[in-house]
A and B are shown apart, each in its own frame.
Chain A
Amino acid sequence: MTTSSNALLSLDHISLSFKGVNAITDISFAVRAGEICALIGPNGAGKSSLLNVINGVYQPQRGSVHFDGHAYRRMNPYHAAHSGIARTFQNIALFRRMSVLDNVLTGRNLHRRSTWLEQTLNVGRARSDETVQRSYAEVVIDALDLQRYRHTTVGTLPYGVQKRVELARALAAEPRLLLLDEPMAGMNADEKHVMAGYVLDANTQFGVTVVLIEHDIGVVMGLSDHVVVLDYGKKIADGAPAEVRSNPDVLAAYLGTRH
């Protein structure tokens, strides 16, 4: 598959299997810079696996990932982060015993210019660096309305807020690509609506390209520019929300007529 000119991310015949069991079979698609792309499909369709492939938690057996023009055969989460890919997790992966602010600041670690020694002795670039990182953290905190939780220990926050903090930590890294694994899981309609708003802000205000996994078709259709539908590790549809909605295979997969 040729990477379309303005594609930020493109997957090229990715196949992944655990001990012979295929999780993903020969999937290819591209994500254009600036768009919000949704991965949907029934449970076990391989959505999370796909995210894990993109930021290198898993190594695909076949196929390659192109990010920002470079092809990666072997990617690992650390390099993914450094090349501008941030993500959140299905079940929250925050630093529970740290404050919201500290969590967000860890997101800034890629942008630190001063060394730990400078910071400890408070010499050289330390001061200016601190100011910059701190201001940006504040920007994100404001954008996600987390001001009042700034110094609260994350572990003590309600689920919905934690989801938000995780998004904030990801955004703080100034990523080019943001992978969201079910950012609205376990939320009621209103909360979902609010969260969707933040995702949209991330996309427009911060200009981040987003790939997200979501079950709620309604939300997905409203939110995303581009939908990729998976079923049993295979891609069964890929396109604008409207056309995907009318795709018979998708209907089959969701209405379950095939099984």
Chain B
Amino acid sequence: MSSPDTTLSAPRTFKPYPQQRPLLKVWLAAVLVLIAFVVVPVFGNDYWLNAILIPFLVLSLAGLGLNLVTGYAGQLSLGSAAFMSVGAYATYNLLVRVPALPLAVDLLLGGLISAVVGALFGLPSLRIKGFYLIVSTLAAQFFVEWIFTRVSWFSNDDTSGVLSAPRLTAFGWKIDTPAARYLFVLGVTSVLFILAARLVRSELGRRWMAVRDMDTAARVIGIPIGRTKLLAFALSSFVTGIAGALWAFAYLGTVEPHGFDLNLSFQVLFIIIIGGMSSIGGNFLGAAFIVLLPILLSNAAGALATVGIEAGQLQNLQKILFGTLIIVFLIKEPDGLARLVQTVRNRLRDWPLRA
């Protein structure tokens, strides 16, 4: 062991975080932050804030959550909605039963609780491989949906299991206008995205990818597979759970257990397929896509109706379109929009050389 130590004594210089370029350049990011935190809330109208931007942010967050466990750690989960609902119901109970706690703490605890539940349903991953795991996550999906409908305690003894958002205030700041709700969601989302971005570059992130790429080899170099997988499930559900709480209280306002059904899980899955597996920024792209395409189509409805395609059929066309896109992406661009954007940017960058 002598020679390496001597080399260490004279440490060489290198960039602390060498990565493939992040999705957005620094200055661009700065501009976006300015727009997101100042311009949008000031100039955005109700419709944009309530119906597009808030769900877009929340879904990006849910996508991020799923991406951690599926994109990075390679464990397919169809239970995202379930973990979202756990987060929502946990946060709700904290809000109404322990009014003393500040909202931020409620969210955090809500996230932790759903992290525990996530780890619980992740346990089978210690024995079960690959997509057999969807059984465990589907079990989570249906069981959670059932128990929240069934046990009215979770919904503060509302027999029908419906949650109704109490008024939200963070540090004396009343979150009641669309702009306020948007800023609140944006704040939480940004924090979690930054942390996640750091997380996936940390040792744990590397272990996740190692397990994803070849778990036998990972084991041979001394990575604790089980712990790594469970952490993936836990942290994923943590993020997803917080997303769920935001979905329930900052977006919808009132939710029933069936609001978190399998379809929502699928939507989240599509977000990461289209946005890009194991990409952080991709979640935004995927979510934007999932949120905007339907709205674009139904906005176009009027125009298309004159051509003889009425609203009903549009929805079917949209279903077909989504399905097709899923397949096309899986075949042509497994790394999703994120990679697409990446390549295009590279092209633009060294365009003079190429052309």
Q: Hey, which bits of chain A sit against chain B, CB under 8 A? A: 55, 57, 77-78, 80-82, 86-87, 89, 93-99, 101-102, 105-107, 109-110, 112, 114, 116, 119-122, 130-136, 138-139, 150-151, 169-170, 173-174, 205-207
Contact = CB atoms under 8 A, between A and B. Distances in A.
B296 interface: no
A194 B55 CA distance: 57
B1 A96 contact: no
B209 A102 contact: yes
A174 to B, nearest CB: 7
Contacts of B11: 131, 135
30 contacts: A55-B220, A57-B220, A77-B219, A77-B220, A81-B221, A89-B217, A93-B216, A94-B213, A94-B214, A95-B214, A95-B217, A97-B212, A97-B213, A97-B278, A99-B20, A101-B18, A105-B206, A106-B210, A107-B221, A109-B203, A109-B222, A112-B203, A120-B199, A120-B202, A120-B204, A135-B8, A135-B11, A139-B7, A151-B20, A205-B4
B323 interface: no
Contacts of A87: 220
Interface size class of B (residues with CB under 8 A): 35 or more
Given A95-B210, A106-B221, A110-B222, 13 more contacts: A77-B216, A77-B219, A106-B218, A109-B222, A120-B195, A130-B16, A131-B16, A134-B16, A135-B8, A135-B11, A170-B221, A205-B4, A206-B4
Contact of A116 (B203, B219, B221): B203
Nearest to B222: A81
B1 A207 contact: yes
* 8 nearest CB pairs, A to B: A81-B222, A119-B202, A116-B204, A93-B217, A95-B213, A77-B220, A120-B199, A110-B222
A116 B202 contact: yes
User: By DSSP majority rule, is chain B's interface helix, strand, loop, or mixed?
Assistant: helix
Contacts of A116: 199, 202-204, 231
Contact of A206 (B1, B14, B198, B224): B1
B181 interface: no
B330 to A, nearest CB: 16
A97 B20 CA distance: 13
A28 B18 CA distance: 47
Contacts of A89: 217
Interface in B159-218: 195, 198-199, 202-204, 206-207, 209-210, 212-214, 216-218
A93 B214 contact: yes
B2 interface: yes
A106 B18 contact: no
Contacts of B195: 120-121
A199 B320 CA distance: 56
B206 A106 contact: yes
Contacts of A132: 8
